[in-house]
Amino acid sequence: MPNTNWSELSHMQLGRYAEYYAKMEFASFGYDVYTSEVDDHGVDFVARNPVDGRYYEIQVKAVRNLDYVYI
């Protein structure tokens, strides 16, 4: 059971959580997920669709505002 007390997470921790969550969702749909070591082009990871072989450059954003969290 994940911790959903978002106020305890720092800005960086929330962003990292959102990025890992997005990667897991893509992987659960069968996409190949490739992570770069450096985020110098605004791309957090690349996902490849196994059906048509297309690649998607993904950038993840997470917002926390009082009682509202958007990932």
Residue 38 has φ and ψ, to the nearest 5°, of -125, 135
pLDDT tens readout for residues 50-60: 999 999 999 99
Q: Does residue 7 carry a pLDDT above 90?
A: no
Q: Does residue 66 carry a pLDDT above 70?
A: no
pLDDT tens readout for residues 14-54: 888 899 999 999 999 999 999 987 767 789 999 999 999 99
Instruction: Please report the domains of the chain, with CATH numbers, ordered by start residue.
Output: 6-70 (3.40.1350.10)
Sign of CA dihedral 3, 6, 11, 16: positive
